[in-house]
Copies of this chain bind each other. A is one copy, B any other.
Amino acid sequence: SAAAAAFATNHLYGEKLSKADLILPATKAEEYVSGGFFADNTAPCLLGGATLTRSKLPFDVTKIGHIDNLRIILVTPDVIVLTREAREMLPDTVSLDGFINNMANSCLISAAFAKNDYDLFARSVNDVVIEPIRAQLIPGYAEVKENALKAGADGVAISGSGPTLFAITNHTNSRPFLIEDAMVRTFKKYGIGSRSIITEIDSVGTRLID
């Protein structure tokens, strides 16, 4: 919403700034709410596709690319996770093993978006550092993930600080709703309602809708 507000404000004032120029103010606005200065939400919202950002100054946003053959199943359980709280849970240090592991997977994900390679992305969605911590905020997470994989997902992870999860599949999978269904039903087993949607990556970013 920080990205949308920045985009709308800029439009009302006659589009004086480019979308890239809006990332810094939108990120400052988000910092006010989340307590962290990260452009991980604002930059992709504005630019579309996958972006990678060094939020530390000098502020540097790079559009990496996108994956055509990627279908995303988003499930948001009715659990409140405050971005600020989720960030405060993070440890001060990370094991060297976890560091190396996540580094390799993240670099491969980055290359996958640059090369438009779904398979490379799918076999790199594996976070051994942050996900196990944030999973604690989402009751039933392990079982939801397991059931999504059984239903045909190629990977499952928590989106940002949560509570939204995403599962991935590709366009050759004709029944992505089976994955959606498995996730929603598993949450229900834990007494948790959820909203869900099957979607794709927006490669355009913020735009006007009539």
Contacts and interface: CB of A to CB of B under 8 A. Distances in A.
Interface of A: 52-54, 56, 60, 62, 64-65, 90-96, 99, 101-111, 113-115, 120, 123, 129
Contacts of A123: 60
Contacts of A102: 99, 103
A111 B110 contact: yes
Contacts of A62: 108, 111, 120
A56 to B, nearest CB: 7
A92 B92 contact: no
Contact of A111 (B60, B104, B111): B111
Contacts of A113: 111
B111 A64 contact: yes
A102 B96 CA distance: 12
8 contacts: A52-B107, A54-B101, A54-B104, A60-B123, A91-B96, A93-B95, A108-B110, A111-B114
A140 to B, nearest CB: 27
B107 A96 contact: no
Given A54-B105, A111-B111, A92 B95 contact: yes
A96 B99 CA distance: 9
Nearest to A54: B104
Given A54-B101, A90-B96, A111-B114, 16 more contacts: A52-B104, A52-B107, A60-B123, A65-B111, A65-B115, A91-B96, A92-B96, A93-B93, A94-B94, A94-B95, A106-B106, A107-B107, A107-B109, A108-B110, A111-B111, A111-B113
Q: Among A92, A106, A114, which residue has the most Cβ atoms of chain B within 10 A?
A: A114
Contacts of A52: 104, 107-108, 111
Nearest to A60: B123
A27 to B, nearest CB: 14
